[in-house]
């Protein structure tokens, strides 16, 4: 006889309230230490629980996998408290913030709270680096979500932070609004041929999307002046990036955005075009080939570091007498092909590539984790984990957030 499916556990309202009270107390102890919760007046506890924040979630995403990854990332990211305890980011952004913001508000407006309570929570107040660091952690997770979800040939994911309680306190719904953007597609004539291209954009760190525009003079097109011009990328360039790098597209496109928006692009001229170095995870992998046409900055193609036409590729040819077709035949003209040789294990060849300026290509194991071939057999959570381990922590340029209490 078949077993009946187990009935879902249903908690009474009284049990839900009791669980919420226990969680609030344990969170208080993790943040401030044993005995501090007892110093919080009963009416304060009741008020905090009556206005309990919602758990942080994504809003506007139709992708359930993305929602799951976001929740899992919050639950598995931990913050070290001033007493040395570990608290999950998910818990901190709910129970933790309820306590922090309530104590800060009361400390500012009344003298009713016990001094020990104020002293214990003062290191977490909204003007502190500790408070700010929690928001930075959320931004880091959202930036990684943008990387795994965005592809210029299809769509770009951006987010808004205004509805987080960490930003706007009790008035917020504690959700991150996400938006899917479809890049503008245009077709223009270049050198007598129709070329398809897409608008280049990337999510801003503090929310929204930046459809990238930069002054032509910034990258060597001085006749274009210092007024911002829109950046487009040819489909041909996207294809070349895919063929020659073969790693996750979002990671590549983020790196392109960073290269274009950097204060100094370290560009150089090449056949009436500009070469802009492309670095991913602090490894120089090649150059974007860029032109300025019809008041648009256009990424025309991509040259891998060993390709002729790059300073490093030309140097390799001079040192080895290898022609472009030789490199192609040997498979040295792509990241995956070059990495498969494991040149770093050969001291003589390793020295040769260092001399040619290709030292970064000798240590690319962390990049290979993001190869399209590898990713196809992994789930998105694996990519999130690689990004968490491999990338720097995100921070804002000016170190400020529009925080509310």
Q: With bands split at pLDDT 50, 70 and 90, how would you rate the model's confidence at 375?
A: very low
Report the pLDDT value the prediction gives residue 58, as an integer from 0 to 100: 94
DSSP secondary structure, 10-71, as one string: ---HHHHHHHHHHHHHHHHHHHH-TTSGGGS-HHHHHHHHHTPPPPPEEES---HHHHHHHH
pLDDT tens across 40-84, in order? Answer: 999 999 999 999 999 999 998 878 889 999 999 999 999 999 999
Answer with the residue of higher pLDDT: 174 or 7.
174
CB 222 within 8 Å of CB 136? no
Residue 337: CB atoms within 10 Å: 17
CA distances (Å), origin 206, targets 146, 183, 287: 13, 20, 28
Among 46-60, 111-125, 359-373, which stretch is predicted with the lowest mean pLDDT?
A: 359-373
CA distances (Å), origin 294, targets 189, 232, 289, 298, 302: 10, 11, 17, 10, 21
Q: With bands split at pLDDT 50, 70 and 90, how would you rate the model's confidence at 382?
A: low
Q: Write the burial class of residue 298 (CB in 10 Å: 0-12 exposed, 13-18 middle, 19+ buried).
A: buried
| Average pLDDT of the residues of the chain | 88
Report the pLDDT value the prediction gives residue 397, as an integer from 0 to 100: 45
Residue 354: CB atoms within 10 Å: 15
Token match 């492309």: residue? 278
Alpha carbon dihedral 90, 93, 95, 99, in 10-degree steps, equals 160
First to last CA, the chain: 58
- Kindly report the pTM of this predicted structure: 0.85
Q: What gap in Å lies between CA 69 and CA 380, rounded to an integer?
A: 8
pLDDT tens across 158-188, in order? Answer: 999 999 999 988 888 999 999 999 999 999 9
Tokens matching residue 312: 């490093």
Going 286 to 382 to 236 to 300, the CA torsion angle's sign is negative
Residue 390 has pLDDT above 70, yes or no: no
pLDDT tens across 216-252, in order? Answer: 999 999 887 889 999 999 999 999 999 999 999 999 9
E-assigned strands of 114-234? 156-160, 175-181, 185-190, 193-199, 201-203, 209-211, 213-214, 229-234
Residue 380 CA, distance from chain mean position: 14
Query: With pLDDT > 70 as the criterion, what percentage of the chain qualifies?
Result: 89
Tokens matching residue 369: 């984790």
Report the pLDDT value the prediction gives residue 11, as an integer from 0 to 100: 64
What does the domain layout of the chain look like in residue ranges? 16-180, 183-386
Q: What gap in Å lies between CA 97 and CA 94, rounded to an integer?
A: 6
Report the pLDDT value the prediction gives residue 386, as an integer from 0 to 100: 57
Tokens matching residue 222: 């001085």
Q: What gap in Å lies between CA 122 and CA 117, rounded to an integer?
A: 9
Residue 108: CB atoms within 10 Å: 10
Tokens matching residue 334: 């792509």
Report the pLDDT value the prediction gives residue 370, as an integer from 0 to 100: 85
Report the pLDDT value the prediction gives residue 376, as an integer from 0 to 100: 43
CB 302 within 8 Å of CB 251? no
Q: Write the burial class of residue 329 (CB in 10 Å: 0-12 exposed, 13-18 middle, 19+ buried).
A: exposed
Residue 295: CB atoms within 10 Å: 11
Mean pLDDT within 125-147: 94
Q: What gap in Å lies between CA 309 and CA 304, rounded to an integer?
A: 9
Q: With bands split at pLDDT 50, 70 and 90, how would you rate the model's confidence at 361?
A: very high
């Amino acid at each position: 006889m078949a077993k009946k499916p187990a009935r879902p556990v249903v908690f009474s309202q009284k049990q839900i309230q009791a669980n919420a009270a226990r969680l609030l107390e344990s969170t208080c102890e993790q943040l401030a230490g044993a005995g501090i919760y007892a110093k919080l007046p009963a009416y304060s506890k009741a008020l905090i629980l009556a206005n309990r924040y919602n758990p942080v979630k994504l809003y506007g995403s139709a992708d359930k996998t993305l929602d799951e990854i976001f929740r899992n990332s919050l639950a598995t990211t931990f913050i070290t408290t001033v007493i040395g305890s570990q608290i999950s980011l998910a818990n901190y952004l709910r129970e933790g913030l309820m306590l922090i913001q309530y104590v800060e508000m009361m400390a500012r407006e009344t003298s009713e709270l016990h001094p020990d309570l104020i002293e214990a929570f003062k290191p977490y107040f909204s003007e502190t680096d500790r408070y700010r660091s929690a928001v930075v952690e959320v931004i880091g997770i959202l930036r990684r979500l943008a990387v795994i979800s965005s592809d210029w040939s299809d769509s770009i994911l951006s987010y808004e932070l205004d509805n987080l309680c960490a930003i706007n306190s009790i008035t917020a719904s504690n959700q991150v609004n996400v938006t899917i953007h479809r890049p503008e597609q245009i077709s223009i004539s270049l050198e007598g041929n129709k070329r398809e291209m897409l608008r280049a954009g990337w999510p801003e760190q503090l929310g929204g999307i930046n459809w990238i525009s930069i002054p032509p003079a910034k990258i060597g097109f001085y006749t274009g002046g210092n007024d911002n011009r829109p950046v487009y990328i040819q489909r041909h360039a996207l294809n070349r990036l895919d063929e020659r790098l073969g790693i996750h597209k979002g990671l590549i496109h983020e790196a392109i955005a960073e290269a274009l928006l950097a204060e100094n692009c370290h560009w150089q001229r090449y056949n009436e075009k500009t070469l802009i170095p492309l670095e991913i995870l602090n490894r120089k992998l090649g150059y974007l080939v860029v032109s300025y046409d019809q008041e648009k900055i256009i990424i025309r193609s991509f040259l891998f570091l060993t390709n002729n036409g790059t300073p490093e590729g030309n140097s390799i040819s001079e040192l080895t007498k290898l022609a472009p077709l030789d490199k192609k035949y040997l498979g040295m003209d792509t990241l995956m092909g070059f990495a498969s040789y494991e040149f770093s294990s050969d001291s003589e060849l390793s020295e040769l590539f260092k001399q040619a300026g290709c030292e970064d290509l000798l240590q690319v194991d962390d990049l290979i984790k993001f190869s399209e071939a590898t990713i196809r057999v992994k789930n998105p959570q694996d990519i999130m984990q690689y990004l968490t381990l491999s990338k720097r922590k995100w921070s804002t340029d000016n170190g400020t957030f529009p925080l509310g209490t």
